[in-house]
Amino acid sequence: MNFQSSLVHTSMPLPSIRPLYRRVLTLLLIAMAMLSGCGGGSDGTAGVGFAPAGPQPPAGLSYAMTSAVYDVGQPIVPNRPSASGGAVERYTVTPQLPVGLVLDASTGVISGTPTAASASALHVVTAANAGGSATARVQIEVQSTPAAPAGLTYRETTVIYVVGDAIAVNAPTSSGGPITSYRIAPALPAGLLFDTQTGSISGTASSVAPDTAYTITGSNTAGTSTVTLRIAVQASLIAPASVTYTTPKALYVAAEAIAPNTPQVTGGAASAFSVTPALPAGLSLNALTGAITGTPTAIQSQRTYTITASNAAGSAQAPVQIAVTGRGSWASKTALPSGRHYVPVVRLLSGKALAIGGFTSGGATASVIAYDPTTDTWSAAASMLVARSDASATVLADGRVLVAGGEASGLTGLASAEIYDPATDTWQAAASMAVARNRHTATLLPNGKVLVIGGYNASPTLTFSQGAELYDPSTNTWSAMVTQLSSPRGQHAAELLPGGGEILVIGGVNSSGFVTSAERFPVNDSGATTPVAGAVPGGNVYISARLADGSVLAVGDGSTTAVRFNPATATWTTSVVDSTRLLPTMTALADGRVLLAGGTGGGGVRLATALIYNPDFNAWTTAASMSTARSAASAVLLNDGSVLTVGGVATVGEIDAVERYSP
């Protein structure tokens, strides 16, 4: 049948839907129809030791213009760097500057006359000496027609100077077209100098002056940009009153140069900046300007850094929170012996991964295969007693694996269960559940028992379960729970909450369509679930991951809104996913982030793209893409922190491709 046309014309369950999509996508038709009805960088101070190991590396590299639009044939205003730390021996830039522009390897000054238009591009300048290096980024565009300047600002916009003390040069930064001249009104206090070419303020104030607003205008042939500074001069030195940063909470990407994060100081002018603890590896603080610049080199969770702006009279501090995420990388691995999807994959205590059954071109299979991460090889394990796909698979406390329910070929629901023993490579029949279940959830409890909740059975008629059953491995028995869900549901997500006393059940579908509620199921079978306030977005299949702080992240098919439940406050927060994804994989990484990979996007296109969820920022960033686009794949976290992604479906049907993601 044609899947797209069925979205328009089908309003009831279609048990004859083609095997590739099987029941999950059939339920999507039901629901849609019914609803339509720390390494540490330099802080600018020398290390402590008996003898220096070498020169201090440069730190806090930044440029006067971090973003510039130049005109063809017009000489540019030299873009000069600022750095603290050790003396710079050489400067380099990558990629090459636009034709006609040059970087002085000794001074780092960017100058010249561009000779051809070029699109906006990011250029990373590296300042180095024998002790190390620092980086800064400069965005440059060259266009045929003049561009007006924009975003004119100064390092210190509200400042108090002291009579007789030489001030730290207060230099401007701007974006847009290059500024060719500056003017200021009114004139600066006596002794202070204004450079009409660079816009810099320098000198030594010679007399007291009241707090006054000074308007500075930067111009070129295409237009102007203005900024207002407040400057006062007093007889005695005062301490900085406050310091804040442009980006007080920053999420950076490893191996990618950051935009300069600059401070704004009020009160007395700061003559020095310092930071504690040391910034993430690759980032550094300019001890003169306070700018944070560089290229982070390693992933780290959010940490708070205290920046101190000081002068001889005192200091002020500002917290800056920084986390570093990464894109990661994928590597193709040995393919499965045969393509399959809806295959549960678990990590055994030995570190190997076990792919159990699944759906192949021939229907549900009983075959089981084991993956050895150390040798990148698949080997056949003993086959299950019953062919099944979409079953639940739970690694028990003793290392055995409980497989329960699922579907046999022909959409026949299964109530049977069996247990795999890795030590003997054998399967043994376990007691059967009271009802057949597919797309249920199975949760290992702290006491070693397994709680199975909800699910559906497609044969002989589509029915959804409102109940739950508890399996006790020590007695090989199932016990029906007295507690019932508030409404039947299958294809939902479930995670054990902190303390082990409740399971959060989220979303799913039933005969009425999408289930947009969540509830807390009591493990002690107290008789009633606890509803969670607030609705969740409708989604055909929900997937979830428990985060390090005990909160739960979840996303439903077809939604661009991910939800996160905080059990301490019983509240939801949301975040935006890049696009709708049907049947992606979601895996909690060892470092606390979450990988979302693949799925089916708009128009039925299989996706190879992936995202990373960063819990500290409640934000998604782009990850590296897989080599093979896929949906309905399976994924498991391996002992080394990589993620093994197995099988799935593509346009041609089931695939055997295997990839491994390294964070």
> According to the 3-state scheme, what is the secondary structure of 538-572?
CCCCEEEEECCCCCEEEEECCCCEEEEEECCCCEE
Residue 584 resides in a domain: yes
State the pLDDT at residue 5. Answer: 28
Residue 379 resides in a domain: yes
Residue 115 resides in a domain: yes
* pLDDT above 60: residue 131: yes
Confidence class for position 176, pLDDT limits 50, 70, 90: confident
Taking alpha carbons only, the member of 369, 361, 425, 364 closest to residue 391 is 364
Task: List the single range of 174-183, 363-372, 538-547, 631-640 with lowest mean pLDDT.
Answer: 174-183
* pLDDT above 80: residue 54: no
Indicate the average pLDDT of the chain. Answer: 91
18 and 119 housed in the same domain: no
The domain boundary, picked from 114, 143, 172, lies at 143
Phi then psi for residue 197, to 5 deg, are: -90, -40
* Cβ(355)–Cβ(336) below 8 Å: yes
441 and 557 housed in the same domain: yes
Cα–Cα distance, 3 to 56 (Å, whole number)? 65
Taking alpha carbons only, the member of 289, 321, 293 closest to residue 306 is 321
Percent of the chain predicted with pLDDT > 90: 84
What is the mean pLDDT of the segment spanning 159-166?
A: 91
517 and 403 housed in the same domain: yes
SS3 602: helix
Percent of the chain predicted with pLDDT > 70: 92
70 and 25 housed in the same domain: no
State the pLDDT at residue 53. Answer: 59
The domain boundary, picked from 110, 143, 176, lies at 143
| DSSP letter assigned to residue 389 | B
Q: Considering its fold, how many domains does the chain have in total? A: 2
State the pLDDT at residue 146. Answer: 84
Residue 450 resides in a domain: yes
pLDDT in tens, 391-433: 999 999 999 999 999 999 888 999 999 999 999 999 999 999 9
State the pLDDT at residue 651. Answer: 86
Taking alpha carbons only, the member of 289, 349, 296 closest to residue 324 is 296
Q: Is 257 exposed, middle or buried (0-12, 13-18, 19+ CB in 10 A)?
A: buried
* pLDDT above 60: residue 32: no
State the pLDDT at residue 1. Answer: 32
CATH number of the domain that residue 360 is part of? 2.120.10.80
7 and 62 housed in the same domain: no
Cα–Cα distance, 175 to 340 (Å, whole number)? 53
529 and 618 housed in the same domain: yes
Residue 391 resides in a domain: yes
* pLDDT above 50: residue 46: no
415 and 349 housed in the same domain: yes
Q: Is 608 exposed, middle or buried (0-12, 13-18, 19+ CB in 10 A)?
A: middle
State the pLDDT at residue 22. Answer: 43
SS3 477: strand
214 CB-near residues (< 8 Å, 6+ apart): 184, 185, 186, 188, 228, 229, 230, 231
State the pLDDT at residue 318. Answer: 97
Beta partners for 264? 244
SS3 573: strand
Residue 426 resides in a domain: yes
32 and 75 housed in the same domain: no
The domain boundary, picked from 95, 119, 143, lies at 143
Q: How many CA atoms lie within 13 A of 220 on its CB side?
A: 24
* pLDDT above 80: residue 321: yes
Residue 485 Cα distances to 124, 192, 466, angstroms: 56, 75, 5
* Structure-model confidence comparison of residues 155 and 125, the more confident one: 125
468 and 340 housed in the same domain: yes
Phi then psi for residue 24, to 5 deg, are: -60, -50
What is the mean pLDDT of the segment spanning 202-215?
A: 96
438 and 367 housed in the same domain: yes
Residue 183 resides in a domain: no
SS3 4: helix
149 preceded by cis ω (within 30°)? no
The amino acid sitting at 627 is S
581 CB-near residues (< 8 Å, 6+ apart): 555, 557, 596, 598, 599, 600, 601, 607
499 CB-near residues (< 8 Å, 6+ apart): none
State the pLDDT at residue 507. Answer: 98
State the pLDDT at residue 36. Answer: 32
The amino acid sitting at 569 is T
Q: Is 187 exposed, middle or buried (0-12, 13-18, 19+ CB in 10 A)?
A: exposed
419 and 519 housed in the same domain: yes
556 and 635 housed in the same domain: yes
Cα–Cα distance, 451 to 133 (Å, whole number)? 55
CATH number of the domain that residue 63 is part of? 2.60.40.10
Residue 78, domain extent? 58-143
Cα–Cα distance, 501 to 520 (Å, whole number)? 9
Cα–Cα distance, 309 to 288 (Å, whole number)? 10
Residue 138 resides in a domain: yes
Alpha helices in 37-106 (DSSP H): none
In degrees, rounded to 5, the angle at the alpha carbon of residue 581 between the alpha carbons of residues 577 and 587 is 75
* pLDDT above 90: residue 7: no
